[in-house]
Chains A and B, each alone.
Chain A
Amino acid sequence: MRSPLAMFHDIRAAGIAFGLRPAGHEDAEFIVALRALSKRTRFIHRGATTVDAQRSWTDAYLARPGDYYFLVHRLADGGREGTLGIYDVDAAGGTAEWGRWVLAADSLAAIESVALMYRVAFDVLHLSSVYSRTLAGNESVVSFHDSCGIPREPTMRTLNVDGVACAAIEHRLARADWPDLAQRLEPMIRRIARRAGASP
């Protein structure tokens, strides 16, 4: 069993059409371009805006415990689709936040990448719950979590985004609720995978 506090950056997860692999220095150019093009990045920390800055961020990340940053990729050809992360792991509480979820505009990886993230959180890191904090203005991502049936925490959070205090909504999935969600997502994942070049 892997300790959630361990600094392993070698976690991989393979789904049907898409997979998660550790993000590294070789992905810096892609990540900077992805964030620059995404319409959603106004709702997350500005992050590194140059390849060198992204590589420096990666250096710091690799030395940081409880932080797992993934590249979402196509299994068929390794093509990069986006990023997501599990971080701020609280080993004692068995919780972590997930986010840094940015996908290319034409990506079909949204549902499967999230399912893989939950699989890593619960089956590999053995967390008891995972939460996301989404700026209230990022309505379609708030709606995505709602559509998945992930419960909202009753109290609004305040996030500091590049020095600005912003209202945020927290959704939290408990390990016990993951099997039901996985079962609901699986038919969609399989049907999407056929279009994404996989053989489900």
Chain B
Amino acid sequence: MSDAAERAVEVRRILALALRIPADKYRRLDRETVPEWDSLKHIEIVFALEDRFGVEFSDTEIPALVSDEAIVRALAARHVP
């Protein structure tokens, strides 16, 4: 599995854990369509990602982390392995 694929799997694992849902409950994890993704859990997700990947998102980046795909892109932009 490539680094990018592994990162995507890990992001989905972190999201499922924070949202307290089975990892396969939704095909795509998107804040617009996942009702469990509320404002409190959004912050929990951000902090879990930061702790796991050793990054710190800015105040302008945090609101944009609205889906598994957006998060994977944001991590890739930071060259997270």
B31-47 interface bits toward A, Cβ cutoff 8 Å, 1 = contact, 0 = none: 10001111111011001
Check B35–A140 contact: CB distance below 8 A. Answer: yes
Does B26 reach chain A (CB closer than 8 Å)? no
Instruction: List A contacts of B59 (CB < 8 A).
Output: 108, 195-197
Does A191 reach chain B (CB closer than 8 Å)? yes
Which residues of A from 157 to 192 have beta carbons under 8 Å from B? 188, 191-192
CA distance A3 to B36 in the complex (A): 38
Does A11 reach chain B (CB closer than 8 Å)? no
Check B41–A143 contact: CB distance below 8 A. Answer: yes
Instruction: List B contacts of A197 (CB < 8 A).
Output: 59
Known: A188-B44, A188-B47. A144 touches B60 (CB 8 A): no
Instruction: List B contacts of A192 (CB < 8 A).
Output: 43
Check B40–A147 contact: CB distance below 8 A. Answer: yes
Does B62 reach chain A (CB closer than 8 Å)? yes
Instruction: List A contacts of B38 (CB < 8 A).
Output: 140-141, 143-144, 146-147
CB proximity of B78 to chain A, nearest CB, Å: 15
Instruction: List A contacts of B53 (CB < 8 A).
Output: none
CA distance A146 to B20 in the complex (A): 12
Check A188–B43 contact: CB distance below 8 A. Answer: yes
CB proximity of A196 to chain B, nearest CB, Å: 5
Known: A139-B35, A188-B47, A195-B57. A147 touches B63 (CB 8 A): no
Most buried by A among B35, B40, B60: B40
Chain A contacts to B: CB under 8 angstroms: 105-108, 110-111, 139-144, 146-148, 188, 191-192, 195-197
Question: Which 6 pairs show the lowest CB-CB distances between chains A and B?
Answer: A139-B35, A110-B39, A144-B38, A143-B38, A106-B63, A195-B59
Chain B contacts to A: CB under 8 angstroms: 31, 35-41, 43-44, 47, 57-60, 62-63
29 A–B contacts, CB within 8 A, in A order? A105-B63, A106-B63, A107-B63, A108-B43, A108-B59, A108-B63, A110-B39, A110-B40, A110-B43, A111-B39, A111-B43, A139-B35, A140-B31, A140-B35, A140-B38, A142-B35, A143-B37, A143-B38, A144-B38, A144-B39, A147-B40, A147-B41, A148-B40, A188-B40, A188-B43, A191-B43, A195-B57, A195-B58, A195-B62
